[in-house]
Amino acid sequence: IAGITQAPTSQILAAGRRMTLRCTQDMRHNAMYWYRQDLGLGLRLIHYSNTAGTTGKGEVPDGYSVSRANTDDFPLTLASAVPSQTSVYFCASSADSNNEQFFGPGTRLTVL
């Protein structure tokens, strides 16, 4: 692994289903983030983690949950997907909360 990876690359999901988006980084970064990007709205922060074992809510946290059991992994879970969660999801990491963020390649999620 080099940098930050996300899985899956894309997914079509039926409404009401549970889904976990995976994110892994090998840079030993303390901080990690989940964003959604919708046309015309820019990046919006869903949840973040400043260090392993802690998480916080961003601008649009409803319907999403995260965990940070270790430094490398930061999964995002949609407990019961709804069509408004159709978006491109980016995971990012940074050495600390005030540093440059490195982004994963993104997951394109469609909820029908």
In the complex, which residues of this chain contact another protein (CB under 8 A)? Answer: 33, 35, 40-45, 48, 58, 90, 97-98, 100-106
**Cα 46 versus chain centre, distance:** 7
Instruction: Provide the minimum distance between the beta carbon of 58 and another protein in the complex, in angstroms, as a whole number.
Output: 7
Record the tokens describing residue 52, joined without a space.
């392993």
Q: Using the minimum distance from each CB to another protein, give the nearer residue, 75 or 106.
A: 106
CB atoms within 10 A of CB 104: 23
Q: Using the minimum distance from each CB to another protein, give the nearer residue, 28 or 42.
A: 42
Q: Using the minimum distance from each CB to another protein, give the nearer residue, 58 or 63.
A: 58
User: Nearest 5°: CA angle at 36, between 32 and 41?
Assistant: 130
